[in-house]
C-alpha cells in the first residue's frame, strides 16, 4: 500500500514540530492538496497523539507514519497510536526487524549502496536517501543501475519544487518534504500554499 500511495503521489509530508492541536487542520489541507503519506517525526511535541489524531481524521487511503524512529520500543508505540509507516534516519537492523514483525511499512535512511542492499534484505519498502544534499542525481542514477528493479528511492533534505526535476530524471519515484513544506508556526493556509506548489511541480514533472 505504501508503494501504491507513492505511485498516486510520490510526495511524503514530514511534519517535524507538529503539535496535536494543529494536526487535524494541517492534515486536512495536505490531503486536499493530494498528499497520501504523512509522517510525524518522534522528536515533535506529543508525536503519538498527533499520529492518533491524523489517523482518526484522514481517509484510509492516506498512510500515517512516524519519522526519526530509533528503537524497537518506539515501533510498538507508533503501531499502538495507529501509525502504519516507520521512517528512520538510519538502518538499524533491530528497528527494521521490529517494524516488519509489527506489520508496518518501512522506509529506512540509507547513504551508501551497502546500506541500501542491507535494508532491502530486511524488507524495506522504500529507501530514504538521507541527506539528499550530499547525494545528488548522479548518485541516484548510479544506485538504480545496481539495485533491484522497482526499488523506490526517496531523497529527503533540501528538496524544493525547483530542484525535483533533476532527481526525477535520474529515476527517483518519491521525495520526503520537510521544512520547505511545514515549519512550526505555519498556519494551515501557509501549508496549503506550499503543498499546492509541490504537488503542481510533481504533476508537471511526472
Instruction: Please identify every residue annotated as catalytic.
Output: 39, 128
In whole angstroms, give the CA distance from residue 104 to residue 98: 9
Strands 153-155 and 105-107: unpaired
What are 170's three cell numbers? 535520474
Q: What is the DSSP string of 115-161?
A: HHHHHHHTT-SSEEES-GGGS-HHHHHHHHHHSPTTPPEEEBSS--T
Give, in degrees to the nearest 5, the angle at Cα 23 between 18 and 26: 95
Residues 114/121, Cβ–Cβ less than 8 Å: no
What are 47's three cell numbers? 508525536
Amino acid at each position: 500500500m505504501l508503494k501504491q500511495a507513492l505511485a498516486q503521489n510520490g510526495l511524503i509530508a514530514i511534519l517535524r514540530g507538529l503539535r496535536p492541536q494543529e494536526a487535524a487542520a494541517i492534515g486536512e489541507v495536505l490531503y486536499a492538496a493530494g498528499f497520501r503519506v504523512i509522517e510525524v517525526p518522534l522528536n515533535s511535541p506529543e508525536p503519538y497523539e498527533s499520529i492518533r489524531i491524523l489517523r482518526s481524521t484522514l481517509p484510509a487511503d492516506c498512510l500515517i507514519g512516524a519519522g526519526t524512529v530509533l528503537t524497537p520500543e518506539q515501533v510498538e508505540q507508533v503501531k499502538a497510536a495507529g501509525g502504519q509507516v516507520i521512517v528512520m534516519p538510519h538502518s538499524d537492523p533491530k528497528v527494521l526487524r521490529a517494524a516488519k514483525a509489527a506489520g508496518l511499512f518501512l522506509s529506512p535512511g540509507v547513504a551508501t549502496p551497502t546500506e541500501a542492499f542491507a535494508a532491502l534484505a530486511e524488507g524495506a519498502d522504500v529507501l530514504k536517501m538521507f541527506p539528499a544534499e550530499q547525494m545528488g542525481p548522479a548518485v541516484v542514477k548510479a544506485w538504480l543501475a545496481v539495485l533491484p528493479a522497482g526499488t523506490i528511492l526517496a531523497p529527503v533534505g533540501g528538496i524544493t519544487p525547483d530542484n525535483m526535476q533533476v532527481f526525477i530524471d535520474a529515476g527517483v519515484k518519491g521525495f520526503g518534504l520537510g521544512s520547505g513544506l511545514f515549519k512550526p508556526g505555519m498556519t494551515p493556509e501557509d501549508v496549503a500554499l506550499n503543498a499546492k506548489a509541490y504537488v503542481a511541480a510533481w504533476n508537471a514533472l511526472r
